[in-house]
Structure 1
Amino acid sequence: MKNNNNGTVIDVREPFELTFGKFEDAINIPMGEIPGSLIRLEKLPRPLIFICASGNRSGQVVQYLQGIGWTDVHNGGGWKMFKARKAA
């Protein structure tokens, strides 16, 4: 996954979780920091694609952002699914 004109990938896992593997070029903003990072997020190329370990936290972030009126935000799933697809 890359950040480019097709959007921005944001990994909402905690920094220690990145030792298990990272998405190439993803920006790490832990889920708990999302509300305080809205100005930063507004400046990023859309769509915003949120990822985490399993897709649960990224889904919660997308629901939160949609709840405050944001559009073009998506749940990209999780690292576990990505690793499973890559291994297949």
Structure 2
Amino acid sequence: MGLLDLLFGNKTKKIQDFTSRDAVILDVRSKAEYNSGAIPGSKHIPLQQVASKISEIKKWNKPVITCCASGMRSGSAAAILKSNGIEAMNGGGWQSLYQKL
């Protein structure tokens, strides 16, 4: 385990754990950003709508990996989901997350 893993946790291992449990990839970018390229099979809910869609997201009954362009919005989305009792993690930027999947 490297120093960065100690400080920040091993995101790749956590992503593998979530995907092994059939996690949903939730892209929280704008519609235009999402339409310009996204992870195949991902769900799209812009960050501004995540809080109002909590009941819908809970019905998925699966862990959620959030992503966006850089990781800032997905971090906010993951925090919103966690505060509402949904198992979630910030997957960061969608392109780097796609490479880890």
Structure number with larger C-alpha Rg: 2
Structure with bigger helix share is: 2
**1:54/1:81 contact within 8 Å kept:** no
Match of 1:15 among 15, 24, 31: 31
Match of 1:25 among 41, 46, 52: 41
- Residue aligned with 1:43, SS: helix
Runs of 4+ aligned structure 1 residues displaced above 6 Å come to none
Unpaired runs of at least 5, structure 2:
1-18
TM-score (norm 2): 0.68
Unpaired runs of at least 5, structure 1:
none
- Residue aligned with 2:66, SS: strand
Q: Are 2:83 and 1:67 equivalent residues in the alignment?
A: yes
TM-score (norm 1): 0.77
Opposite residue 72 of structure 1, the aligned amino acid is E
